[in-house]
Amino acid sequence: MPLIPGMSAVKKAALEAGAFGCTISGAGPTAVAVTDDEKRGREIGERMSDWWQFQLRAALALALAWWHWCDHKVKDDVDDVGLGDRVMDYIGLH
């Protein structure tokens, strides 16, 4: 299992956008890409961010599908923990 699930996809996106390299800082709370161009840097950052958001949505959708498969009422369970419509909207289930 990788240290940071999904980091390989984020790194690939950064390199494809023109980064010289991409790695993590410390134990993994920060992903860093290196470039020499501010405009390219913004594009690299946007692509990395897009991949993190995509993976978060996929993970949340998988978790909700698992709850549903276990015969739970997904929306009721999410509401019970105080997240309700925000989570459902975020992952596109509304």
Q: What is the pLDDT of residues 62-76, one digit of tens each?
A: 877 777 666 555 555
- Residue 31 placed within a domain: yes
Structurally, the chain folds into a number of domains equal to 1
pLDDT number for residue 3: 76
- Residue 1 placed within a domain: no
Name the residue range of residue 53's domain. 7-90
- Residue 2 placed within a domain: no
- Residue 46 placed within a domain: yes
- Residue 37 placed within a domain: yes
Percent share of the chain, pLDDT over 90: 35
- The rounded mean pLDDT for the chain is 79
DSSP string, 11-49: HHHHHHTT-SEEEEETTTTEEEEE-S-HHHHHHHHHHHH
Residue tagged 């010289």 (tokens): 20
